[in-house]
Structure 1
Amino acid sequence: MAIIYKKYEQVARKLYPDAILLQVEPLAGGVSADVLRLDLRLTTGELRSIVMREHGPSHSGHSTSLEYQLLEALFRQGLPVPQPLCEDASCELTDNPFVLLSYVPGVSGLPNRASNSYLDTAAEMLALIHGSSTKNLPELPDRLDPLPEIFEYLPGEDDRHSLIEFLRNQSNTTYQGTSRLLHGDFWPQNIIWNEGTIAAVLDWEDAAIGDPLSDLACSRIEIRYQFGVHGMQRFTEAYQCRRFIDRRRLALWQIYVSAAAQHFMGKWGLPNEREAIMRLETKASIDEASSTLMSGEELI
């Protein structure tokens, strides 16, 4: 344990020479990164906490350099993100690249009995992100068209053959609107709340530029997992009060996001019962979106 503390103390001293590490506290993080809070005593006697986000071996998102540049640009814009403090990809102090961030106090996620105002506020934040300036951002990947990638994720079951055939016959599915900043993984655990307001939006490793409905589709399925169809509808309606939604295009992205979730869900380390419930919800999500595209039914 002393050796581990020494390593993290050296990490902290990249920012604060001679700082004393008091405590290392694991924080909720994603599958591809370890997130720790480092509690320090500075040479002035001041107590300060910072966050270390270390990319794991399975990390598939942006590099620490790009993550730092993006957070720096968003922080300067005034969006609620942790302030990036430094990044290190040398692997001299740690096994993997890491980013150091300011610590934002609060609680991540939403309680299961959260009031509608929380869902409304989350939807407002997603709309704010999509309306923010893309000037002065580092170069991010495009996310414009769910095809042909969608075919990698859709299961080849008999009841999907008609949907797959329908999708193969679609053309001009590339987004034609103004490309927007996309978070890429906007779900409750990536939001820090403090007294009913959003203090920070975390985990921008999948950020992109492109069709905002891809982001909305991702958020909808995550909200559905926790709050059901009615919570998802409430979130969608709150978003629609601020930004236009093309329901057919949203249905296309909903199939993409839900099929991708089914494809990768087994790697998320979920309890078996929880995974089974989520698979049922993603299947229902694909079914509903398919009906919208193929039969003209209103998307939930």
Structure 2
Amino acid sequence: MITIAGAGVAGLASAYELAKRGAEVTIYEAGSSPADNPSSWFAGGMLAPWCEGEVADPQVVRLGAGAINWWAQFTPVTRNGTLVLTPPRDRAELDRFARRTEHHRWVDAGEIATLEPALEGRFQRGLLFEDEAHLDPRRALMDLTRTVQGLGVEIRYATPAPDQVDVDCRGMASDLPGLRSIRGEMAVIEAPDVQISRTLRLLHPRIPLYLVPRGDDIYMIGATMVESASWKPVTVRSLLELLGAAFTLHPALGEASVIETGAGLRPAFIDNIPRLKQRGETTHVNGLYRHGYLLAPALAGQLARQFFQESQDETACERRTA
């Protein structure tokens, strides 16, 4: 039997890849439900590997490219791309973003209006990443939970992990040396007066914003990445910045109802590249930074290949030892 600590996205993805190869798997989860994993529960749900290339290592882009098809096995995935925009005064930001990324094409005001009629007349040009996608991370987490349970995985909620487990996927709770916490904050809004069908990224020198549709006039907005280990709720300053940037995207978002706010601590190594890391008899799957849903499938696959001694691509996530 293989034991896993943590039933967030990394733990569940690892359990799936192990169980589908025939392993008997037990997950220990200190929380009482999937909602008790803030980093997974408050995620944006963007499957946008090429956009992430703006700031991420090329390895992140390469590993994330397979996430869309992986998630589509279990949960609905909306495959209509990412539209990157910027206010007219910040057009240089869009040029810079284009230089640092690939797998996109330029769109003009007319095509922006065709793609998203609500934005007609508001933006003169943008970048369309046609092959990117998004999902509802909460539904995805629940769907993946049901899938692994269907494969025979036992999830012991409200049960702290024993001192010795085979795989540790607990993020910051693992106390793994070399990790730092990146605080991410988000808001969920209801905006019946604005109809957006795909992920929007609004570039801004001070607070870039992403808006992800969740269906039924519900949108998740986020942007903040703060080096902090604080678990306190979303600050007034961060919320004002998020909502102010959303208002720049479309004035009608100023009339939206804020129905939820939240914050989570994302574990990251100094280079922001996730990896498998061996400490004693335990393999840690950690450091997913802001790429949990994007990179958990690739790391889980590498973990399973390691356990079953399957051949693997030498360019996959590097396995590093403590």
Q: Same fold (TM over 0.5)?
A: no
Q: TM-score when scaled to structure 1?
A: 0.29
Q: Higher helix proportion, which one?
A: 1
- Of structures 1 and 2, the one scoring higher in RCO (CA 8 A, sep 6+) is 2
Q: Higher strand proportion, which one?
A: 2
The structure having more radius of gyration, on CA atoms, is 1
